[in-house]
Amino acid sequence: MSKLFSEYKMKDVTLKNRLVMSPMCMYSVEKKDGIATDFHLAHYASRAVGGTGLILLEATAVQAVGRISYQDLGIWNDEQIPALKRIVDSVHSYDAKVGIQLAHAGRKAELDEEIVAPSAIAFSDDYKKPKELTKDEIAEIVSDFKRAAFRAKEAGFDVIELHAAHGYLVHQFLSPLSNRREDTYGGPAGNRYRILGEIIRAIREVWDGPLLVRISATDYVHGGLTLEDHVPFAKWMKADGVQLIDVSTGGNVPVRPNVYPGYQTRYADDLRQKAGIATGALGMITTGAQAEEILGNERADLIVIGRELLRDPYFARTAALELGEEITPPKQYERGW
């Protein structure tokens, strides 16, 4: 059997294969209330029908002010749980596992309200200048991540992922480009990691399942984060109870990286080797053979597919045919597959 279609276990959750649907914002909430719609149900369920082993819902805000836009999903109140549970139940009915990415946009929130960040530095000239968070406000954000994790448990999710990448709030704290604080949340690496460690440990008080973190392994500019900076971060995450790091890049400053097939895989590989933690590889992975090479050469443990799953909801079947594998279709599709 190919490595791609072998099982993968994280704590008490076993994935039927190593294909993961990447969190991708759909900007499809209709009433600015953060509640998932019929579109979200069809969108995520269709990838479960298609054979993906783990479906990760898009960035879901733990505070209303933590949304990227008013069209983002939310998990900051109990009224948002039923629609999320409906998605979970549907994905489960097609023999897939499902996770949720908990997020706070920080200075990249495009809202009418006052926005917040580690330091009062705008993302770019096109963005509002954020308010610098007080320590009490940081503590409230940590508590809101914990409350969101409890709601995720109530909704029945199998996995939680924390969004510490792409220039959103936790990444803003980690990077010296966006964190100029002079208190215990700024300066040395251990201080800049502090909020992420507090969030992980707070979530662990209410969540026993697998916990993943998405990072941006490089900021792509001088003075920003590098892969080497993330090695101690990754070791601290592992010690705090994280099972796997989903390795992306960029997003904290407006820089466009050089993009090519598999361009981020080397970061997942390096971090896996140097920090001794499981990783997910992502970034222009579009074929079964490409995914199999990454796994077979032990460059990552999971393959996280983004835009290719937008183009082909049945990518698992496409990859299986390419690799000469047989996968079990939903019974409704047996005649076609």
Mean pLDDT of 41-50: 98
Mean pLDDT of 168-178: 98
The predicted structure's pLDDT at residue 264: 98
Q: Which CATH superfamily is domain 3-323 in?
A: Aldolase class I (3.20.20.70)
Mean pLDDT of 290-307: 98
Q: Could you report the per-residue pLDDT of 84-102, keeping only the tens digit for each?
A: 999 999 999 999 999 999 9
pLDDT for residue 176 is more than 90:
yes
Q: How far is CA 43 from CA 37, 79, 313, in A?
A: 10, 21, 9
Mean pLDDT of 302-318: 98
Annotated binding-site residue? 21: no
Annotated binding-site residue? 306: yes
Annotated binding-site residue? 214: yes
Residues 6+ positions from 275 with CB-CB distance below 8 Å: 230, 231, 234, 235, 238, 245
Structural tokens at position 18: 């190593």
How far, in Å, CA of 229 to CA of 214, rounded?
A: 15
Confidence of residue 1 (pLDDT cuts 50, 70, 90): confident
Q: Could you report the per-residue pLDDT of 197-225, keeping only the tens digit for each?
A: 999 999 999 999 999 999 999 999 999 99
Annotated binding-site residue? 178: no
pLDDT for residue 16 is more than 90:
yes
How far, in Å, CA of 32 to CA of 36, rounded?
A: 10
Annotated binding-site residue? 317: no
Q: Could you report the per-residue pLDDT of 110-128, keeping only the tens digit for each?
A: 999 999 999 999 999 999 9
Annotated binding-site residue? 222: no
Mean pLDDT of 62-78: 98
How far, in Å, CA of 108 to CA of 129, rounded?
A: 10
The closest of 222, 213, 233, 231 to 166, measured between CA atoms, is: 213
Report the chain's mean pLDDT, rounded to a whole number: 98
Annotated binding-site residue? 164: yes
Domains in the chain: boundaries: 3-323
Coil, strand or helix: which one is 101?
strand
Annotated binding-site residue? 204: no
| pTM, entire model | 0.98
Q: Could you report the per-residue pLDDT of 234-290, keeping only the tens digit for each?
A: 999 999 999 999 999 999 999 999 999 999 999 999 999 999 999 999 999 999 999
Q: Tokens 């097939």 sit at which residue?
A: 261
